[in-house]
Chains A and B, each alone.
Chain A
């Protein structure tokens, strides 16, 4: 699989996008549930210093109908939005500590692709 295209300032994030960026919450959750503490750390260290710049770029685009490269960055940012607590709060654990089995939570709206 070729790496997804990204806006020029963020092309170096393409391998991370290939791994993490998916259009539906269920797909992103599957990836997150199989991630290790090292995976979360690598994503965090690459994304956190750039987060403000990424959000600034995304804020110039409507919530739907983005060009393909921006959309790929958006999906990577969505994956990071859901993954960052695992690094910041859960000690790198892919499950929320002392929690219910996340696989039993169902997205009621059919988990439409973003």
Chain B
């Protein structure tokens, strides 16, 4: 569902720096939520079981029978996300109702597959389930003294999608629909043709840090001129502005006058910036993002609580890049699975594909610079030598996320 809003409709989410200082305060923010393992247990119960979590995109699962298994230790869950014969995407616990084996075997944190017959079969004793959930067949069924097959379908998890992003909610009765949970965030970011950008370069790594250390490092533009001096040399004047607060979510805009572009990057970029499908498209941005359509717009940097970021660039920042996302999945208190994905519209020819490889490599290298800080930051916080983070205006997303976290934990 698409709900586009004019910039005027969303005027109430805009904040000046003074507003941000007044609403969120200017004091240092305690690091206890990062350092205390007991808080992590609370987060599992009060946040990751009580919010909508992005787990897939609809274009990853284009055909009936396409599925994805996502291992989510934060919820002690293996989740099967699958497109049924009726075209609907559903989510189930990947758990056989016979005795609990995994129905679809998986390796690593994420496994893709396709069931042409629209069934999944548990390898332990051969129970067969439809991709829309019901138990279809049981070997030697007559040998069970009692078996209520009608009640033994896969255990469903609430699942809904917004703009092609698939979300799940572990609570059996979510307090809010996905639309209500996203609220003004859904209206601010709605309307961009996300689903056209089906070419994805997807990276992950396991970081020895609390998930919020990784999340916060990707939530501000303050670090760009220093940490990215190697991969973004001569970055001229990062302007991090247009602050917006939207319930548990928040957003802001990175403007910048560009950087010293290397000769090879210029050549590759020209393959993309001169074509209709890959060129900068400020006109496609939702109306309340970069409302003045400034030419130095780089990307919109939101925090979709609790653990998802969509950087919407519309080709204006990195050449040809439509958008990129980050997600931070806690594995335990001090370990995090980070997933970073660069999305492009499909290349029309081999030269565009090479150019996308170059842009992807530059961005992946910048991510190597970002991730370099995270384990040290966590070790520093765990040393107990600092009690608080000092946060400047451009780090307001951190301040806001920390406050939202406290609110959920206190609920």
Contact = CB atoms under 8 A, between A and B. Distances in A.
A14 interface: no
Contacts of B365: 85, 96, 99
Nearest to B262: A88
B200 interface: yes
Given A51-B267, A61-B349, A108-B339, A81 B358 contact: yes
Nearest to B338: A105
A62 B339 contact: no
Interface centre among B205, B233, B263, B374 (most CB of A within 10 A): B205
Interface string B196-207: 000011111110
A25 to B, nearest CB: 8
Interface in B242-269: 262-265, 267-268
B264 A98 contact: no
A58 B204 contact: no
Given A81-B358, A89-B231, A63 B349 contact: yes
Contact of A61 (B350, B364, B368): B350
Nearest to B356: A81
Interface string A81-114: 1101100111000001111101011111100001
A107 B357 CA distance: 13
Contacts of B262: 84-85, 88-89
A52 B269 CA distance: 11
Contact of A74 (B231, B354, B370, B374): B354
Contact of B268 (A74, A81, A100, A104): A81
A39 to B, nearest CB: 16
Contacts of A77: 354
A28 to B, nearest CB: 9
Contacts of A102: 368
Given A99-B368, A99-B372, A109 B231 contact: no
B230 A81 contact: no
Contacts of B203: 105-108
Contacts of A63: 346-350, 352-353
Interface string B53-96: 00000000000000000000000000000000000000000000
Nearest to B202: A108
Contacts, number: 123
B159 interface: no
A6 to B, nearest CB: 14
Interface string B340-375: 010000111111111101100110110111111010
Contact of A80 (B230, B264, B371): B264
Given A63-B349, A89-B233, A99-B365, A52 B358 contact: no
Contacts of A84: 262, 264-265, 358
Interface string A50-86: 0110011011111100100010001001101110110
30 contacts: A44-B264, A55-B271, A55-B355, A58-B351, A59-B271, A63-B346, A63-B347, A63-B350, A70-B350, A74-B354, A81-B355, A81-B357, A85-B231, A88-B262, A88-B265, A90-B230, A97-B230, A98-B369, A99-B369, A99-B372, A104-B205, A104-B206, A105-B205, A105-B368, A106-B108, A107-B202, A107-B203, A108-B203, A109-B112, A109-B200
Interface of B: 108, 110, 112, 200-206, 227, 230-231, 233, 262-265, 267-268, 271, 339, 341, 346-355, 357-358, 361-362, 364-365, 367-372, 374
Q: Which 8 A-B pairs have the closest CB atoms?
A: A81-B358, A59-B351, A84-B264, A99-B368, A108-B202, A58-B351, A88-B262, A100-B371
